[in-house]
Amino acid sequence: MQPSYIYIIAGIILVGLTTFVIFRQRRMPPSSARELYIRGLNQLIFGYEQQALETLERVVRTDSELIDAYIHIAEILRRKQNHESSIKVLRDLLARTGLSANQKKVIIKNLAINYRENGQYKWALLACDQLLMIDKKDEWANNYKIELYEELGDWQKAFDTLKKTHLKDKKAKEQRLACYKVEQGLQLADAQKSHEARLCYREAVKRDSDCYPAYFYLVKSYVREQRAKDAFKELKRLVNNLPEYAYLALNKLDRDLFELGYFEEIENFYSSVLKEHPNIVEAYVGLARIYEKKGALESAADLYRKALHHSNDDQLLLQLIRIEVELRRYQAVLDITEEMIPASPATELTFLCTACGFIANDYFWHCPQCKSWNSAERG
């Protein structure tokens, strides 16, 4: 056989094989694409993301109607921080006709997550609004909007959105709304809008009468403006309504109160607190400092002794020893460790998030770690 005929026959066979392969790929039964899809899902389950991505890309080349495969591709790209590509896949999907309402919701939800992680908060909020146009009761969209507003520090919009959102736990909702008002008040205070800030704190108290930060910053606002009468009035309200937080407030406000210079008012305040709440250690300490300034060292020593009956605090013991030395009562100094049997053991002032276990030395109403609200408990 001549070489030319061999080349012709080989060419015909090659063309035939190519045509067969192309035809077979175009007419591949749906089951084959779905088998590939299942393989891709299994790869995802076992953590082989790159292999899963390659498999799912083969799936959509084979069957472009498998919407879920595109969604998984977008999800993998998002996890790889390739947000632009992920967003493009999802937006192209959304442009298709014939999508079911549920498919649209899944696609838009994934878009919102992508936009947020990519720092495109405006687009993330618009995506949430699209979801709410499809289903105005979509809880995920409402909650996601609230989280976005929190991250943006737009507390009024966070407040308005949460207020319209249905929650089974109405008390928890009011507590969180109160926290939003405190956050808004702090922003206004930073902008030197003290009056508007106090209105926010007062609204917080109306929504949650146990909102400690609202009381605290209300007092701080008056202290900052040197309005001693109003400051003591609100501080007394804090102590009476939330005696369990009195130690915290008095610890933080003690120096501010002394800087006001109204020592008689401070003495009267601490005295009245101790009549109603004789276990508040910080009130004994505050009153003892007043007596020291007046030169009444024996009275100050007596107050430190009373404080030590409620708290085994080394600092209290040192203060008592210091005063006894000033009084030259050296035998009393030697007897102190034997005399003082505290009623309760000393505990380090720490706060624990009941949601995630985060620990801090200062009170927080919004956990820095897990972002839970009102989750701090004294450790």
Phi, psi torsion values for 340, nearest 5 degrees = -85, 110
**Beta bridge pairs of residue 278:** none
In order of 258, 338, 373, the CA distances from 300 in angstroms are: 16, 20, 40
Residue 186 near residue 213 (C-beta atoms within 8 A): no
Cα gap 252→216, rounded to integer Å: 9
Q: What is the pLDDT of residue 28?
A: 45
Q: What is the pLDDT of residue 254?
A: 75
* Torsion 205-211-217-218 (CA) sign: positive
In terms of C-beta density within 10 A (0-12 exposed, 13-18 middle, 19 or more buried), how is residue 217 classed?
buried
Q: What is the pLDDT of residue 349?
A: 65
The helix/strand/coil state of 117 is helix
Residue 88 near residue 78 (C-beta atoms within 8 A): no
Q: What is the pLDDT of residue 356?
A: 87
Instruction: Write down the residue that tokens 């910053």 correspond to.
Output: 217
The helix/strand/coil state of 1 is coil
- Which of 76, 46, 47 lies closest to 59, judged by CA? 76
Single-letter code of the amino acid located at 305: R
Residue 189 near residue 217 (C-beta atoms within 8 A): yes
Cα gap 298→323, rounded to integer Å: 8
Q: What is the pLDDT of residue 95?
A: 94
Which residues, other chains included, contact 113 with Cβ-Cβ below 8 Å and sequence gap of 6+? 78, 124
Q: What is the pLDDT of residue 340?
A: 55
Residuewise pLDDT in 10s, the chain (379 residues): 455 555 555 556 655 554 444 444 444 444 588 899 999 999 999 999 999 999 999 999 999 999 999 999 999 999 999 999 999 999 999 999 999 999 999 999 999 999 999 999 999 999 999 999 999 889 999 999 999 999 999 999 999 999 998 888 899 999 999 999 999 999 999 999 999 999 999 999 999 999 999 999 999 999 999 898 899 899 999 988 998 888 788 878 877 877 777 778 888 888 888 888 888 888 888 888 888 888 899 998 898 888 888 887 888 888 888 888 888 887 777 777 666 554 444 445 688 898 888 888 888 888 999 989 988 887 6
Q: What is the pLDDT of residue 74?
A: 96
Cα gap 322→292, rounded to integer Å: 11
